[in-house]
Amino acid sequence: MSDRLINLAAEGGPERAFLVAVDSAASESLWDVSDSLAELASLATTAGATVVGSLSQRLPTPTANLYIGKGRANELALRHTDGEFDVLIVDDELSPSQQRNLEETVDARVIDRTALILDIFAQHAHTREGQLQVELAQLEYRLPRLVGLRNSLSRLGGGSRGATGGVGGAIGARGPGETKLEIDRRRVRSRIAELNRELEGVRRSRATQRQQRAAQAIPVVAVVGYTNAGKSTLFNALTSAATLVENKLFATLDPTTRHLTLPSHQEVLLTDTVGFIQKLPTSLVAAFRATLEEVTEADILLEVVDVTHENAVEQNQTVNDVLEELGAAEKPRVTALNKIDLLADPSLVDMSIYPNAVCVSAAQHTNLDALMGKIADVIISGMVRIRVLLPYDRGDLVELFHRRGQVNRQDAQSEGTLVTGLLPRTFVGVFAPFRAAPEYSGRRRSVRPAPDVADADAQPASAVADED
């Protein structure tokens, strides 16, 4: 059993990787090719490789047969012959023919960005759900590449489980089932169908859990953001949880949910989710649908942005693009501009481009109360105003009002407890039988008297305003 997560392709050390990218004139990406290659280097390092060099080639579009030009491919072949690198990593997803042709030309194993990300996910998937989702994504990625993979797989040998619990083997070849040389399309399709059935059960289970949470009307706040922006650190700081925190890309795969009480006494459920990245593989988004539904079903998104990163704006746009793909871009959002403790002057941060932004340091627990206050404000903006007279033998409803809503005023009356405040719409029906007449202040109201709380048109929190 090996204690490494990669093959010792070179004696005494990990695989040496050379990175390649095409700077396409037709690309609409905000990312500069040098920044994208730097991120690819981080991914390769996370996978366990040693990056020994990189190059980019400016082309109108990647070539159909080799991705890069023939001259560049021949140059890489000479470098590989001279022993400069063991594996070539490409900063885009290759077609099966591009990968096969490039491998034949360079005479080296070629891994594209998608395979690299899937490989990292294979290392970090420790729960049954995570492993199922990663296996599905890997098999769907490899299905059209089975013919081209046979030769390269025969050179690799099987993977082994590392001492840290991850999956061993060569980069891009880790994960379930891929080392069986004689696997055929029929068996892969059969396994994909089996995984989809198992994951459908996972989705049903998560849907049941969400229904139970919805019945309690506890707002769900999903923590989203670019990978390594500090999501798990912030999650732990807010909830005192013990979610894995590492300075690595995709250190957290499986969603974790914890209870959080805001300074306003409002209860919420905070869910930490998988980080996003540019060029996120479509197969991964589809395979991780059960996990990403925690984002699509959340009431509020808490986006974490690493303001110290030189590509913070590009990372934010990538998050927006992924949320758009998931159909969650229009959800109410609070932005935590993280790692301000690393800035010489945090006041220079432009907060105007981020919705409901608060500068914080998750590591130093700076401004967390202000962040929770902003979350409370966003929650309150979606509530309705209500005034109820609760009998003294219904103390449970008084306690429920405090836990699920915001109490603006509470008075003891002869008939019971008079409570005025804000509640989620889902609780309006519960309190409808105890509706009290609105208090008359002697001033004109800018809106009509509050409707019956049993009515679906109960006033939103922002609807009532006194006039002089």
Among 29-43, 59-73, 224-238, 287-301, where is mean pLDDT lowest? Answer: 287-301
Nearest to residue 445, comparing CAs of 414, 426, 427, 468? 468
Report the chain's mean pLDDT, rounded to a whole number.
81
Q: Is the pLDDT of residue 196 over 80?
A: yes
Domains and CATH numbers, the chain: 1-215 (3.40.50.11060), 217-380 (3.40.50.300), 383-468 (3.30.70)
**316 or 443, greater pLDDT:** 316
> Following DSSP, what letter does each residue of 324-356 receive, concatenated?
HHHT-TTS-EEEEEE-GGG-S-GGG---TTSTT
431 within 8 A of 387, measured Cβ to Cβ: no
**Across the strands, what pairs with 411?**
418
Pairing label, strands 267-272, 220-225: parallel
Gap between the Cα atoms of 437 and 451, Å rounded: 10
273 CA to centre of own chain: 5
To the question of pTM greater than 0.95 for the whole model, the response is: no
* pLDDT tens per residue, range 383-398: 899 999 999 999 999 9
Q: Does 460 have pLDDT greater than 90? A: no
Virtual torsion, Cα 304, 309, 314, 317, nearest 10 deg: 10
Phi, psi of 413 (to 5 degrees): -115, 170
Tell me how crowded residue 414 is: count the other CB atoms within 10 A of its CB.
5
pLDDT in tens, 395-411: 999 988 888 788 899 99
Does pLDDT of 11 surpass 60?
no
Span 89-148, pLDDT tens digits: 999 999 999 999 999 999 999 999 999 998 888 888 877 888 888 899 899 898 888 764
Contact call for residues 86 and 50 (beta carbons, < 8 A) = no
Average pLDDT over residues 363-368: 95
Q: What is the token pair recorded at 122?
A: 């294979």
Q: 32: Cβ–Cβ under 8 A, 6 or more apart, which residues?
A: none
With CA atoms as reference, report the closest residue to 424 among 374, 457, 380: 380
C-alpha distances in Å from residue 256, one per residue of 6, 16, 153, 220, 244:
28, 35, 35, 12, 10
Q: Does residue 288 surpass a pLDDT of 90?
A: no
- Phi first, then psi, for residue 406 (nearest 5°) are -130, 120
pLDDT attached to residue 397:
92
374 vs 462, higher pLDDT: 374
Nearest to 353 by CA among 371, 370, 335: 335
CA distance 179 to 158: 5
What is the 8-class DSSP label of residue 427?
A: G
